[in-house]
Amino acid sequence: MPRVAIVTGAARGLGQEFAVALAGRGCVIAGFDVADQSATQARIDGGFLPVEVDVTDESAVATAVERVAATLGAPGIVVNNAGIYPPIEFEDTTLDDWHRILRLNLDGPFLVTQAALPYLRAQGWGRIVNIVSAAVDLGPPDLVAYTTSKAGLVGFTRALASAVGKDGITVNAIAPGLTHTETAAATTGAHGGFEHVRSLQAIPRTEVPEDVVSTLLYVCDEGSGFLTGQTINVDGGSTRS
C-alpha cells in the first residue's frame, strides 16, 4: 500500500514541490491549503486530494484529517510546510502581527500533527517533517516574529521526537535558506534579499526548491527510521559558522 502524506501549504512554492516529489516516490498526497490547488493537482497524475482548510482552525483540521483517512487511508507522513514570513521591523510589529505569524507558523504544525498522530501511532510508523528556516541561526533583524516562530518549531521537533520515537515515528526539521519561489521573489527578493543571502553562503548561488526536495525525500524514506529530532540546514552553508 502506498504511504499517505499530508503536505500543508501545498498550493504553491516549496509545498507544491514537496507534494509533487512525494507523489513521484509513490505516495498518495493530501494537500492542505486555503488557496486553490489546481496547479499542484495538474502536476500530479492522480493520487492527489486537495483539501481547503485553515491549519490554525482546530475543528477544521480535525475534520480534514478525518477526511484524508476516510478517502485515501491513514496518513503516515506529515509535512508541516505552511507558513508566512512578512518582513516587519521589530518596532513596527503589532501584537496582531505577532499572533498572526506565530499562529500559522507554530500553532498550525501543532494542530495538524496532533490530529494526524493517532493514525501514525496505529501503524507503528510515521514521518513528521517540520519546515523551519536558516533564519533561526542567522537572526535577520526584520524577521523577529518569524524567527521566533521557527525557533519554537525547532523545539517542537526535538521534544516531539522524544515523545513518539517508541512508536516508530521520526520527527525532523529542515531549515532552508532563502529559496527562490514566487512568493520569495515578490517579497524578500524584491529588496535585494537574494543577493544578501548569497553573500553569506559557501555556495554562491540562489537556492532553488530542488535543493530542499532531496532532503525531504531522505528524511521521509523508509530507510531513515534512525534519524530523528534533528534540524538539517539546507542553506548553501550560510550557517556553517
Q: What is the CATH number of the domain that holds 122?
A: 3.40.50.720
29 located within any domain: yes
Identity of the amino acid at 184 = A
d(CA 108, CA 82): 8
How many CA atoms within 13 Å lie on the side-chain side of 162?
5
Owning domain of residue 174 = 4-181+209-233
Cell of 140: 535577520
190 located within any domain: no
The pLDDT assigned to 188 comes to 63
How many CA atoms within 13 Å lie on the side-chain side of 69?
18
Q: Which segments of the chain have a pLDDT < 70?
A: 187-192, 241
Domain count across the chain: 1
Q: Across the chain, which distance is largest between two alpha carbons, in Å?
A: 52
105 located within any domain: yes
pTM: 0.94
d(CA 28, CA 42): 14
92 located within any domain: yes
- What are the catalytic residues? 146
Cell of 169: 515515528
d(CA 77, CA 27): 9
The pLDDT assigned to 240 comes to 72
125 located within any domain: yes
Contact 189, 195 (CB under 8 A): no
The pLDDT assigned to 26 comes to 97
171 located within any domain: yes
